[in-house]
Structure 1
Amino acid sequence: MAIPLPDGTPPRAHEPETWALRALGTASAEASGALARRMRMHPTDLSAMSHVAASDGHLGPRELSTRLGITPAAMTDVVDRLEAAGHLLRERDTADRRRVRLVPTESAATEVRGQLRSLLDRLDALTDDFTDAERDAIHRYLQAATEAYHRFAVDEG
């Protein structure tokens, strides 16, 4: 029996692709936990590194604390740990010297690539079974789904 939503409306049955994407998110979270254990890192530290790596050097500690939902003081502790472990650097922003940017070290990027190589090779191999048109459709869907997640993350209401 389906449980009604908080406003009393019946739940909407979602598309199989939506459920598959949710399952992918769960599997991805499991893989992140495994990567954190393999790298002997706290999951929050690994999550911070993931955000920093994806930001191309445009992320500072304050923005990162907002993304992770932790206080700026706790973020300072995370950044201090990651810097002491040789995983990231604090650099002054060239456009605004008051601003600090967080940048992953090359050794950290190399270690992560090494740990993820088998997974990424498996994912790359999946595309061998699809035509170019199917791959294009999958790519468009995943880009749109990524944008939907980003919108949800910044939507206040």
Structure 2
Amino acid sequence: MNEGTTGRGGPSTSSPARSLRTLVQVAAGVPGAMARRAGFSHNEMAVLDLLSDAPHGPAEIARALSVSSAAASGIVDRLVARGYAVRTPHPEDGRRTLVEISDAGRTEMLGHLLPMLGPLQALDEAMTDADRAAVQRYLDGATQAIRRLL
């Protein structure tokens, strides 16, 4: 029997594969739960998540959300009005703007993530270097497999 498949040729039923599948399913619910708790729409939460990595232009936000430029502008307007995002001039092109997460937006996001981040940090700290390396290899391989599907 091939490792990674069942005797019937189906997907892997190994404990790590089942756990990863459960993790992916549970993680898919995080943005919606955070949006409800914070009083954001799903798209507002998606924009804050996007901005938490780096500033983006309005057109980039529209593409990332698969919405029109007008819809993206409305989402950004609401976040700016609530103090969770700010518009800044583009450093290389004065005709363009960038949207950045504000300190209040970052604090809001972190406040909702802390109940998850603390236990994850504790799990990481409890691992040996060998454990961490094995988990890293598995997660990197799983990420590549999922990206192939996308």
Scaled to the shorter chain, the TM-score interval is 0.7 to 0.9
Question: For residues 62 and 26 of structure 1, do their structure 2 counterparts lie closer, same or farther at Cα, with a shift above 3 Å needed?
Answer: same
SS at match of 1:96: coil
Task: Give the residue type in structure 2 aligned to 1:61.
Answer: P
The answer on 1:96 being equivalent to 2:93 is yes
Instruction: Provide Cα deviations, 1:14-72, integer angstroms capped at 9, x if missing partner.
Output: 47445533432221222222211111111111011101112x22x21111111111111
2:33 corresponds to:
34
Q: How far did residue 140 of structure 1 move?
A: 4.0
What's the offset of the Cα at 1:113?
Answer: 1.3
Give the match for residue 102 of structure 2: 105
Q: For the residues of structure 1 that align with 2:23 and 2:117, how far apart are their CA atoms?
A: 14
Gaps of 5+ in 1: 1-10
For 1:68-109, what per-residue CA distance to the aligned partner results, in whole angstroms no more than 9, with x for missing partners?
111111111111111111110111111122222110000111
Divergent runs of 4+, >6 A: none
Corresponding letter in the other structure for 1:35: M
| Counterpart-to-counterpart distance in 2, 1:117 and 1:24 | 18
Aligned 1:41-56 pairs, distance under 5 A:
41-54=40-53, 56=54
Q: Secondary structure at the match of 2:99?
A: strand
Aligned partner of residue 29 in structure 2, secondary structure: helix
Q: Write the letter of the residue equivalent to 2:67.
A: I
Distance in 2 (alpha carbons) for counterparts of 1:27 and 1:66: 26
Q: Which is further off, 129-138 or 83-92?
A: 129-138
Normalised by the length of structure 1, the TM-score is: 0.76
Match of 1:13 in 2: 11
Distance 1:148 1:99 in 2: 37
2:60 is matched by which residue type in structure 1?
A: E
> Shift in Å at residue 127 of structure 1?
2.0
Whether 1:61 and 2:58 are equivalent positions in the alignment is yes
Match of 1:87? 84
> For residues 115-155 of structure 1, what are the alpha-carbon distances to aligned partners after superposition, in whole Å with 9 as ceiling and x for unaligned?
211210011112244221221232344345456656765xx
Aligned-partner residue type, residue 84 of structure 1: A
